[in-house]
Amino acid sequence: MADPTGHAEARSLEQRVADELAQPASWAARTLGEAIVARHGDAVAALLFYGSCLRKSTHEGVLDFYLVVDSYRGAGLSRRHSCLAALLPPNVYYLAIETEQGTLRTKYAVISSRGFERRVRPSCLHPYIWARFAQPALLVHVRDAESRERITGAVRQAIVTLVQRLAVFMPAKGRLQRFRLASFWRDALRRTYSAELRGESAETIRSHYDADPDRYDEVAAGALEALEAEGWLTGVRVSGNAVEVEMRPLRRRLARLRWGLTRPLAKGLAVLRLLKTASTFGDWLPYALWKLERHSGVHIEVSERQRRHPLIFGWPVIFRIVARKELR
């Protein structure tokens, strides 16, 4: 049960998050991280490593990072790119570097500190950021203790937000909900992936949870206790993987209706981000097609004209990518 003040649970979950973020990164993540930070200078507050390469402990493929900055202009973004980032964060960039062990590749998102913190709160309708950072991440670079504290708090909030927004879909009878955390995570990941242009099979989604079930169970239990302390729900009882909570049925129904608004909004924003990527990512269409083939086995040939001018001549290809939900 939660401490009525909420402080014990908040510290417990926050400490769990802090310990996870502080784990050492691989040599590949550190090497790419140094290059990314050098590219953007003193405005960099933190660099987070996340995604499939972290989960699989591999540097093959493209490593995913989030670069959190004080300001876009201070991080070296052009005026146009800064405006795009402010209107529809984050901007996504690509970087490849040569090492003695081969080529390392990354796509990294750039977002302001304030933007990052706003988009992990439950008031943010779309799950683009809070769903990502409810999953494991590492702090590859952090500028100072204040930046570490802010990032740790934001990642903690991302976990609480995901649990708050999606636990309402677990089986309910009146006020009472009983479910297993494994079922919760698989359902939550399925819903957040389907809210974007991100095609993941049920097997892949299961593998996210199965990669570290103790971690997922522990942070979800901490988030439920924090939500009890906030008064969002009551009667939290966790026994191993089994959970029992109580919530007013009206609150649950409204939360489910709200998610119904989230999905079309998130999909619309994902399409806009896809179009925006054309002006920030560089030679992005071959990358998108590589991702498509890697995830689905479908190979699409493009002409040189389509590759050089994707937003003029590449629409048939873009529509096929969107339809297959394969661009991340």
The neighbouring-strand residues paired with 107 are 64, 94
- Residue 67 CA: distances (Å) to CA of 35, 142, 196, 236, 287: 12, 10, 21, 36, 20
Q: What is the mean pLDDT of residues 290-298?
A: 58
- Indicate if the pLDDT at residue 99 is higher than 90: yes
For residue 236, the model assigns a pLDDT of: 97
For residue 320, the model assigns a pLDDT of: 62
Cβ–Cβ < 8 Å for 181, 216: yes
Name 176's Cβ contacts closer than 8 Å, sequence gap at least 6: 235, 244, 245, 246
Please name the helix (run of DSSP H) or strand (run of DSSP E) that holds residue 270, with its range, or none.
helix 249-280
Rounded to whole angstroms, the Cα distance separating 47 from 49 reads 7
For residue 140, the model assigns a pLDDT of: 98
For residue 296, the model assigns a pLDDT of: 53
Kindly state the tokens that stand for 65. Answer: 């990072």
- Indicate if the pLDDT at residue 165 is higher than 80: yes
- Indicate if the pLDDT at residue 68 is higher than 60: yes
For residue 275, the model assigns a pLDDT of: 75
Instruction: Render pLDDT for 129-155 as a digit per residue (tens, 0 to 9).
Output: 999 999 999 999 999 999 999 999 999
Cβ–Cβ < 8 Å for 72, 110: yes
For residue 154, the model assigns a pLDDT of: 98
- Indicate if the pLDDT at residue 321 is higher than 80: no
Name 135's Cβ contacts closer than 8 Å, sequence gap at least 6: 50, 55, 208
* Amino acid of residue 224: L
* CATH architecture, domain defined by 7-269: 2-Layer Sandwich (3.30)
Identify the band that residue 326 occupies on the pLDDT scale cut at 50, 70 and 90: very low
Cβ–Cβ < 8 Å for 57, 100: no
Instruction: Render pLDDT for 238-282 as a digit per residue (tens, 0 to 9).
Output: 999 999 999 999 999 999 999 988 878 887 887 788 778 767 776
For residue 4, the model assigns a pLDDT of: 37
Percent of the chain residues topping a pLDDT of 70: 80
Rounded to whole angstroms, the Cα distance separating 296 from 327 reads 11
Cβ–Cβ < 8 Å for 63, 29: yes
Instruction: Render pLDDT for 214-244 as a digit per residue (tens, 0 to 9).
Output: 999 999 999 999 999 999 999 999 999 999 9
For residue 282, the model assigns a pLDDT of: 62
Percent of the chain residues topping a pLDDT of 90: 68
For residue 12, the model assigns a pLDDT of: 86
Spans of all domains in the chain: 7-269, 283-324
For residue 313, the model assigns a pLDDT of: 46
Rounded to whole angstroms, the Cα distance separating 57 from 209 reads 15
Closest residue by Cα to residue 31 from 86, 95, 92, 80: 95
- Expressed in percent and rounded to 5, the helix, strand and coil fractions of the chain are 55, 20, 25
Report residue 131: phi and psi, to 5°: -70, -35
